[in-house]
Structure 1
Amino acid sequence: MSPMEQNLDVEVEIHDPSTAVVTIQGELDVDTATLLHHHLANQALHGRRHLVLDLSAVGFMDSSGLNVLIRATRETRATGGDLHLAAPTPQVAKLFDLTGLSLTTAVHEDVEAALTALKGAGTPT
């Protein structure tokens, strides 16, 4: 494991062929953003267009991490899907508010609320 990977742990739970919950733990910054992008791109490669990112264990995020989320939102929407952010820590939620990401990307209190929103939008979960 490279030093970069030691600061970020990514786990994926498949809910159905088009939906996955991606749990992120650690720091999402210039050193780890590419790792997360690769995980998200892999989900798209396997046909999962609807992603929920569980951010409850992300203690720090910089502009590189924010860029990955913006890029992932664009990429999922381009394929008819969507990206939902769930349970951001207060620091990360503040970053979303300051940058306006919370206005363009759905942010939910928890993973269950994000999955319910997807289901309400007609996405099988």
Structure 2
Amino acid sequence: MADVAGPEASFDLRTDGGTMVLTVSGELDYAQKPVLSRALDATDRPGDLRVDMHGVRFMDSTGTDFLIRLHRQTEAHGGRMTVTGLQAQPRSLLRLLGLQPLIDSKT
């Protein structure tokens, strides 16, 4: 298990069977970019990835970029990324940007 935390965001990475589970909480905004980069590095390995966003109530374009990078990285390793627990604001932002289909979202 690897924990990465910043003033407003925190991450926990664990494995459930053969799937990496990245639990995210806090705000995913520009101020959290260094924390997001460390979380991205921690997940840079083969396998499927589930991103649990139950604890994320706000994200801006930095959070969107983070999810796109996670998606691309996971696919580059031959894996599949799913997102669970999207709250209202992140879900609305992904819809507005036309990105929700890119991320195989589940509630």
Task: Please indicate the TM-score interval, normalised by the length of the shorter structure.
Answer: 0.7 to 0.9
- Superposition misfits of 4+ residues, deviation over 2 angstroms: none
**Counterpart-to-counterpart distance in 1, 2:82 and 2:36:** 15
Structure 1 residue 57 and structure 2 residue 58: aligned?
A: no
**Counterpart-to-counterpart distance in 2, 1:101 and 1:49:** 22
Which segments of 5 or more consecutive residues in structure 2 lack a partner in the other structure? none
Q: Which of 44, 69, 74 matches 1:71?
A: 69
Structure 1 residue 22 and structure 2 residue 38: aligned?
A: no
- Give TM-score, length-normalised by structure 1: 0.75
Report the alpha carbon displacement of residue 48 of structure 1 after superposing the two structures with TM: 4.2
Report the alpha carbon displacement of residue 55 of structure 1 after superposing the two structures with TM: 0.7
CA 1:33/1:7 → structure 2, altered by over 3 Å: closer, same or farther?
same
DSSP 3-state at the match of 1:88:
coil
Q: Which structure: greater helix fraction?
A: 1
Q: Are 1:37 and 1:72, in contact at CA under 8 Å, matched by a contact in 2?
A: no
**Counterpart-to-counterpart distance in 2, 1:81 and 1:96:** 21
Identity of aligned residues (%): 29
Q: CA RMSD in A?
A: 1.6
Structure showing greater radius of gyration is: 1
Which segments of 5 or more consecutive residues in structure 1 lack a partner in the other structure? 110-125
Deviation readout 1:35-72 (Å, 9 max, x if unpaired) = 1232232222xx34211111111111000110011111
CA 1:73/1:79 → structure 2, altered by over 3 Å: closer, same or farther?
same
- Give TM-score, length-normalised by structure 2: 0.86
**Counterpart-to-counterpart distance in 2, 1:95 and 1:14:** 28
Q: Which structure: greater strand fraction?
A: 2
